[in-house]
Amino acid sequence: MNLKFLGAAGEVGRSGVLLNTGNEKMLFDYGIKIISQAEGPLQAPKIPLKVKLDLDAMLLSHAHLDHSGFVPNLYNRGYRGPTYSTATTFDLARILLNDSIKLANLRNQEKYFFKEDLKTMEKNEYRITYGQQFYVGKSSIGIYDAGHIPGSVSFHVNTGKKSVVYSGDIKTRDTELLRGLEPIRENTDILIMESTYGEREHPDREIQEKQLTEKVRETLEMNGTAMVPCFAVGRAQEVLLILEKYGLDKYPIYLDGMAVDATKIIMKYPELIRQPKKLDKIYKNIEKVYNNRQRNDAAKRPCIIVTTSGMLNGGPIAHYLEKLYDKKNCSLTLTGFQVPGSAGHTLLETGNYVTEENNFKIKCRVDFIDLSAHSGRSELFDYVKMIDPKKVFVIHGDSCDKFASELKEQGYDAHAPQSGEVCEI
């Protein structure tokens, strides 16, 4: 048996791990890495290493493009086998993948798959859910809630000889939107785990929620517009629930961008989220925005605007900033990690909003709140203790080597693989 690491080795992005059991070949995730503006705004995303098409199964942990973004390329190249994931993941991935095709067309970038390939992928979807078990050849596969975004899973593969856990991205603690991950109590020989926040802890979640709502409330009391740019999948819905939790749903709230469709999809599967009735209630009462006329109207009044994109690189938030950047009674609250080189990161560092289309000084209030959907450093260590594996492979982080070394100090057999490395297990 062996593992081949096709991406996410020593980096966050382009996840892809091939498990060869000797009887079956299974691919865990197959994503892309978005290039930051610092590396060149017109560059195409980085892609994972090529994999042969003699796969028995594609196992997709969740919808984010760094995990799903290259799966359609398999079908473009001729793969016709199954892809296993949750219904929520398939539906969310479809809107993200369609958007990536649209962006590639707009930027005249190389395209690795087309809409026809998405249709072929759809025909080969096998929808699974939490608590389910299924077989690929002789290997049984268990499905566990990963707690990261709606529909995200961790896989437990029992080959009959060894058992392998692929964590995907994980969140151990409850949020307003989701329950924390479901513990894996089964025997595990091999753990392949993410380490996105291997060097950082998250601040207290409740304090972050209160700071967000205080900043929004202060803006509204000054008759300003509170802009809350979010990632469309998971974060926008979390923000809506936080606004409801602290009584801010009595104010006008606008939902814009891909977040509108993503929220509809998430509400189709209420059993996978914590508070489906609350999300349904707030969604029915807010204003959905679909065009610039509605955006212009929203920007003229005291209100809350929850919109994409979360790192300010494009989307409707650019339109709102062009209207409101010089209004000191307005505010912009970033709610997630800002990749170096992104417009959001540049804004936090310099106070300037810089994209291909814009370059101006922001005069409205700018704040950052940590509402991460990933586990922090200590939670990752606790996760390893819970799994108690014989061997750990550390991926999907900027400091995988360091995290693996720290695990070794705690007595674990841990390794941070290189891209393309094949490891016998």
The CA distance from 322 to 198, in Å, is 37
| pLDDT above 70 for 398 | yes
Q: Which of 6-10, 101-105, 175-179 shows the lowest mean pLDDT across its residues?
A: 101-105
Name the helix (H) or strand (E) containing 83.
strand 83-86
Bridge partners (DSSP) of residue 306 are 228, 255
pLDDT at 36: 59
Q: Considering only CA atoms, which of 236, 257, 229 is closest in space to residue 99? A: 257
Q: Which of 41-45, 62-66, 301-305, 357-361 shows the lowest mean pLDDT across its residues?
A: 41-45
Q: Are 72 and 65 in contact (CB under 8 A)?
A: no
Mean pLDDT, residues 67-77: 98
Average pLDDT along the chain: 96
Domains of the chain by start residue, with CATH: 2-200+374-424 (3.60.15.10), 205-368 (3.40.50.10890)
Could you read off the pLDDT of 5-58 as tens digits, one per residue? 999 999 999 999 999 999 999 999 999 998 755 444 456 789 999 999 999 999
pLDDT at 116: 98
DSSP state of 412: -
% of the chain exceeding 90 in pLDDT: 92
Mean pLDDT, residues 164-191: 97
Task: Look up residue 376 and give its amino acid.
Answer: G
Could you read off the pLDDT of 252-292 as tens digits, one per residue? 999 999 999 999 999 999 999 999 999 999 999 999 999 99
Could you read off the pLDDT of 230-246 as tens digits, one per residue? 999 999 999 999 999 99
The CA distance from 67 to 31, in Å, is 4
